[in-house]
Structure 1
Amino acid sequence: MSTFCNYAVLRFQPYPETGEFANLGIVMLCSDGQFLQRVETRTRKRVTDFFDKLDPGVFRRARHEFADEIKRVAELANANAGDFVLQMGLFKHLIAPSETMFRFGPPGTIASSDPVRTLDELFNRYVHHDFDQREEAETTIKRRLNTLLKEQFADRVYREERLGDELYHVTFPFVWRHNEHTPLQAIRPLSFDLDDPKSILDKGDRWIMQMNRLAKHGGMPEDTVFVCQAPRSQDAKRAQSYREITAELSSTRHIRVIPQETPVAQMREMLGETMRH
């Protein structure tokens, strides 16, 4: 007999403005009264390497505190296994949108004959498999770009720089200046291989907002290039969201979008021809 389980994925998202996050756990409320949870408590070097500007100690302390809170909610829910209304209230309160470093993705529902096994499967899919196999897409794209720029543009010096002023600024991993004056080109990888269509749109909207704000604070390069990864899922809604957001990015002044799978020769040509205005 199947049990219906509501679940949500715990995300570590220290910089909301970039939309980047790492999945770290699962919480699950089942119709048979079980409130299950599992959080990755080992130090994950790939998390701290990916968010390399964040003090690892901050990550570990915050994760420990949030894991304790999840455990407390689970214990309270399981102590009231006969009161599904109370349990659902606890579940909704726990996964409600927040502005903290740890937050939950959109909830989902799954039928299961073995909720504990299903929890493990979801955990491996969203935390271990997702994390280990994707190897942080933007970090991978950044490595490829670094190699390409060094090999193909020996006459240019690209550096990681913070563009803008004291009130507002945005960091780009690759910035090229001519005679140390106005930045001629800034390049940044963006992965839209996210869990749902809304996350794709939200991440794109944040970058459009950031670039518009950057322009007002005098930090807009003459040519900004986002090297983008599309969703790998065949889901039509995610594909539609990706097309919509990349079209909006491309229509923003001084911004171009190049798919990350573009062949090296074509990528070199596109990056070499900085935007003319």
Structure 2
Amino acid sequence: MQKKHLFEYAVIRVVPRVEREEFINVGVILYCADQKYLKSLFEINETRLSAFICEIEPDVILSNLKAIEKICCGGIDAGPIGNLDIASRFRWLTATRSTVVQASKVHPGFCIDAEKTLDKLFNQLVL
């Protein structure tokens, strides 16, 4: 039997008007310490986004989501945050914010393969 590993994830949300607290799930961030894994997947559904009164261009949202992706990968391209260890980058990405792109509360689980688990969560919670 394969060993199960503790993972944590958060849903990435677009909150077009922060004061209304309405949101659209656009991605998932998954962190698994045992597998040294931190990755995000995202997709902007412009049809869903257009259902909200949104003065933000999809390109601006996409830019923010790509920054999350860079921070997950780490390194110099991610700026100063990219130099932090994986756990610290995950905590930074999932910290509470009052911005247009936010993360949900962090949820735990167990997985065998973090990549497959991320794909499954993305399909269940975003698509």
Which range, TM-score by smaller chain? 0.7 to 0.9
2, 13, 16: which one aligns with 1:14: 16
Partner residue of 1:73 out of 62, 71, 74: 71
Looking at secondary structure, tell me which structure has more helix per residue. Answer: 1
Report the TM-score when normalising by structure 2. Answer: 0.83
Number of corresponding residues: 116
Letter in 1 for 2:61: R
Shift of 1:65: 1.1
Match of 2:46 in 1: 44
Q: CA RMSD in A?
A: 1.7
CA contact (8 A) 2:29 2:39 kept: yes
Helix, strand or coil for the counterpart of 2:91? helix
Confirm whether residue 124 of structure 1 aligns to residue 123 of structure 2. Answer: yes
Measured after TM superposition, the shift of residue 94 of structure 1 is 1.0
1:62 aligns with 2:64: no
Secondary structure in 1 matching 2:10: strand
1:41-190 aligned within 5 A: 41=44, 43-48=45-50, 50-51=51-52, 53-55=53-55, 58-76=56-74, 86-128=85-127
- Provide the residue aligned with 1:25 in structure 2: 27
Paired residue secondary structure (2:20):
coil
Cα deviation, residue 14, structure 1: 1.7
Q: Percent identity?
A: 23
Point out the structure with max Rg over C-alpha.
Answer: 1
Higher relative contact order (CA 8 A, sep 6+): 2
User: Map of 1:202-217 to 2, 5 A cutoff?
Assistant: none
Q: How far is the alpha carbon of 1:95 from its aligned partner?
A: 1.2
Measured against aligned partners, the alpha-carbon deviations of 1:60-97 in whole angstroms (never above 9, x if no partner) come to: 122211122111111117xxxxxxx8211111111111
User: Take 1:13 and 1:67, find their aligned partners in 2: how far apart are those partners?
Assistant: 13
Closer, same or farther in 2 for the Cα pair 1:19/1:111, shift >3 Å? same
Cα-to-partner distance string for 1:124-150 (whole Å, 9 max, x where unaligned): 11111xxxxxxxxxxxxxxxxxxxxxx
Partner residue in 1 for 2:78: none
- Say which SS state the counterpart of residue 17 (structure 1) adopts: helix
Secondary structure of 2:74's partner? helix
Q: Which amino acid aligns with 1:76?
A: G
Moved more, 91-100 or 101-110: 91-100
Report Cα offsets for 1:34-78 as digits up to 9, x if no partner: 11210114x431221x21x324xx33122211122111111117x
Runs of 4+ aligned residues of structure 1 deviating over 2 Å after TM superposition are none
Instruction: For 2:22 and 2:123, locate their aligned partners in 1 and report how far apart those are by CA, in whole Å.
Output: 20
Contact 2:46 2:58 in 1 (8 A): no
Counterpart secondary structure, 2:41: strand
Output the amino acid matched with 2:54: L
